Amino acid sequence: MTTLKELPTEEYLLPGHAACAGCGATIAIRLAQKALGPRTVFVVPACCTSVLQSAFPFTAFSNPCLNIAFEAAAAAASGVVAAYEARGVKDVTVLAWAGDGGTVDIGLQALSGAAERKTNFIYVCYDNEAYGNTGFQRSGSSPFGSRTTTTPTGKREHKKDVPMIMAAHGIPYVATACVSYPLDFVDKLKKAKAIMGTRYLQVLTPCPPGWRFSTEKTVELGRLAVQTGIWSLFEIVNGKFEFSTPSVALVDKTKRKPVEEYLKHQGRFDSMTPEDIEELKRWIDASWEKYKKLQQKL
């Protein structure tokens, strides 16, 4: 495992980015750049990163970056990979970097196609659980009960399990992460970098304005997401499922903090009824049962 001291001191995210205070996604970018290094090219569809990299004629990205249409990240990245293969460029990592809307909703077809074609790239979905850039509208990744600007009384459907969808493609590497566990995220990116083929990571990135919490609580909220089990950390390497260290003990339901501890800090959950909270708990338990079965199979 990478230690804090081993993290590169170089900063590849330059000063002057345009992210909100307390932005979890920005932490994720900074860590990803450190983990993957300067020989990485970004392909970024419409998402918060389109904005936070800052506007022409400036950029906060020291890596080359191709901005592309909302649903097109994985397809455009396929083209970059093909061009590099054709030119014999071997030491560059192609990284598609997309939000949850651009991944689990509008970009899912292109992502599925790229994975089925065994495209040699890393796809990271930084998941802030809504369309953050456009004012926090509901996405397929928004959790049950959460208020968004298009579900003002709370979403009635559960979060789409895209890591499992990606695992079903038979790709060599699938992982979940959370910016509150930076070394775990960095390790997973490094592991992904060393593997050939399609590698998918989904990293939870708390969003203060969208989730409606105070900006200094970003890391705390990410920890609570993991500790309450509403977000679990795992890897699926060549089909082998394994919980990651912060989530291992939480397989025992009694070790998980009550989800209310996570919900209470966030304005987006303040319209939930006790029945809604029970439904969310039922879903959390069911998710863990689903993952436990995957682990037991092996």
Partner 1 sequence: MIAAYPITPQTTVVEQIADLVEGGQLDAKYIRVESEHSAMAACIGAAVGGARSFTATSAQGLALMHEMLHWASAARLPIVMAVVNRAMGPPWNIWADFSDSLSQRDTGWIQFYCADNQEIFDTIIQAYKLCEDKRVFMPAMVCFEGFILSHTSMPVKIPDQEEIDDFLPPYNPPWLLDVDNPVTHGSIVYPEWYMEFRYFMYEALENARRLIPEIDKEYARKFGTEYGGHIEKYMCEDADLIIFSMGTIGSEAKLVVNKLRDHGHKVGAARVRVFRPFPKDEIQKLAKNAQMLTVIDRQVSYGMEGPLHTEVKASTCSGKDSPLTAGFIAGLGGRDVTVHDIEAMVNKSLQCMKAGKVEREVNWVGLRE
Q: Which residues bind partner 1 (CB under 8 A)?
A: 38-41, 43, 50-51, 53-57, 59, 61-69, 71-72, 74-87, 89, 92, 109-110, 112-113, 116-117
If residue 202 lies in a helix (H) or strand (E), which one and from where to where?
A: strand 198-204
State both tokens at 171: 């790709």
As measured in angstroms, the least distance from the Cβ of 176 to partner 1 is 25
Residue with tokens 């089925």: 116
| Residue 288 CB neighbours (<10 A) | 19
Q: Do residues 92 and 39 make contact, with C-beta atoms less than 8 angstroms apart?
A: yes
Nearer to partner 1, 73 or 280 (CB): 73
Nearer to partner 1, 81 or 263 (CB): 81
As measured in angstroms, the least distance from the Cβ of 73 to partner 1 is 8
State both tokens at 153: 């009384």
As measured in angstroms, the least distance from the Cβ of 201 to partner 1 is 20
Nearer to partner 1, 29 or 226 (CB): 29
State both tokens at 40: 């990485």
Q: How far is CA 15 from CA 34, 38, 116, 202, 268, in A?
A: 15, 16, 38, 25, 30
Alpha carbon distance 297, 235 (integer Å): 15
As measured in angstroms, the least distance from the Cβ of 188 to partner 1 is 22
As measured in angstroms, the least distance from the Cβ of 18 to partner 1 is 9
Nearer to partner 1, 7 or 89 (CB): 89
As measured in angstroms, the least distance from the Cβ of 71 to partner 1 is 7
Alpha carbon distance 140, 108 (integer Å): 11
Nearer to partner 1, 82 or 164 (CB): 82
Nearer to partner 1, 58 or 278 (CB): 58
Alpha carbon distance 59, 49 (integer Å): 11
Backbone angles phi, psi at 144, to 5 degrees: -55, 135
Q: How far is CA 31 from CA 12, 36, 62, 65, 181, in A?
A: 9, 9, 14, 16, 11
Nearer to partner 1, 43 or 177 (CB): 43
As measured in angstroms, the least distance from the Cβ of 229 to partner 1 is 35
Backbone angles phi, psi at 15, to 5 degrees: -65, 150
Alpha carbon distance 277, 260 (integer Å): 8
